[in-house]
Amino acid sequence: AAHDVEAEGFGGEAGADFVVAGLAELREVVRLGLPLPPGKLPPDLLAAHLDRLAAGDPAVLVPARLGEDVAALDVGGEEVLVVHGDPVTLTGHEAAAWAVRVNLNDLAVSGARPRWLLATVLLPPGTTASAALCLLDDLAAAAHADGLALVGGHTEVTPVVAQPLVSLTALGTVARGRLLDKRRVEPGDDLVLTRALAVEGTALLAVEMAGELRRAGLAEEELAACRALAATVSVVPEALAAAAVPGVHALHDVTEGGLAAAAAELAAACGHGLVVDLDAVPVLPETRRVCAALGADPLGLIGSGSLLACCRPEATPRLREALAGLGVAATVIGRVGEAGAGVAARRRGRPAPWPRFETDEAARLLAQRRET
């Protein structure tokens, strides 16, 4: 790959920043100078960075790696400390509760029970003291409602942000023998999806693009049904229930980039390829209606509220039973393949391309609207 070299003089005055052996390497150099799209860093770019973070500390049980959302730390005793961090840009009355729940989802998929929360709150100039205190109170109330203690953080007014931004760090604990590690996934495991595609994205677009949806013919009752899906964004109860089922090897929550991104992340983290039956993937009628109206693909639409689970086929009935007790549906949408990476798809029994999205579909639609 292209690499840095010392500037030893080139053409008298200039030094060389890169030396390349061919057009393929030149393409990668050019890419480094191009603006990144909104959303998560491209997986290959992030993987190159994470590969340099090899943990030399034996207390790090689950290290930073592509597709992994938590770190698990051995702090002695019978329990393991699990940590997750995520920034959230906040808007709207329910934003604080939404931010807390989305962060707890990532923690719970390790099998850990969320316990503590830290919040770094960055506010734009012009924010009133009343607005700042209201946001902090909302965060504290949301943490309390989910059984957490808000134990610290940082607050600041800064011109760096144009709207409130909260970076949350959630911490929890899990018994040493109950920690879920995606590296335990095995070939032949069932791939199970809870609820349906794009739960969060459907609710989000019904709020943010309500005008466009009304003009496309959606009735107020349909929009209300879409917005009601926001109440199902938390997956903590079902994640903890699933983690307790013997034979469940890994859980992964579906977030930005939808199922398309989540499956790719899971495949990278577990080191096995996944095969997804697109005909088996459940899509709510509300989601189909919203996506058809706005020209979005639900496979690439943000999907908090759903889990991917890898489990032995004989454990699948027990997993379904445990989730049904919480009113959560679970559908087998594929299987785990041999060692490797990537996601393969099938439709009507034949190989089909697995979609890749540069940007989450909700982010794309909102960006397009700002540009018009």
Looking at residue 372, what is its pLDDT? Answer: 77
Pair 263, 129: CB distance under 8 Å: no
Domain ranges in the chain?
43-47+57-178, 182-371
CATH 3.90.650.10 fits 182-371, yes or no: yes
Name the more confident of 43 and 91.
43
pLDDT in tens, 155-185: 999 999 999 999 999 999 999 999 999 999 9
Tokens of 146: 């989910």
Query: Average pLDDT, stretch 187-192?
Result: 98
What is the rounded (10 degree) CA torsion for 218, 219, 220, 224? -60
pLDDT in tens, 115-125: 999 999 999 99
The CA distance from 297 to 288, in Å, is 9
Mode of pairing for the β-strands spanning 149-157 and 113-123: parallel
DSSP state letter for 218: -
- Helix, strand, coil percentages, rounded to 5, for the chain: 40, 25, 35
Pair 139, 282: CB distance under 8 Å: no
The CA distance from 84 to 63, in Å, is 12
Q: Could you tell me if residue 342 is left (phi over 0), alpha (psi between -120 and 50 degrees) or otherwise beta?
A: left
Beta carbons within 8 Å of 281's beta carbon, 6+ residues apart: 193, 197, 259, 299, 331, 333
Domain 43-47+57-178 fold is: 60s Ribosomal Protein L30; Chain: A; (3.30.1330)
Looking at residue 8, what is its pLDDT? Answer: 41
Tell me how far the alpha carbon of residue 116 is from its chain's centroid: 20
Tokens of 113: 């029970």
Looking at residue 55, what is its pLDDT? Answer: 66
**Identity of the residue numbered 236:** V
Looking at residue 351, what is its pLDDT? Answer: 95
Looking at residue 246, what is its pLDDT? Answer: 97
pLDDT in tens, 329-367: 999 999 999 998 799 999 999 999 999 998 999 999 999
| Single pTM value for the model | 0.86
* Count of CB atoms situated within 10 Å of the CB of 12: 5
Tell me how far the alpha carbon of residue 166 is from its chain's centroid: 16
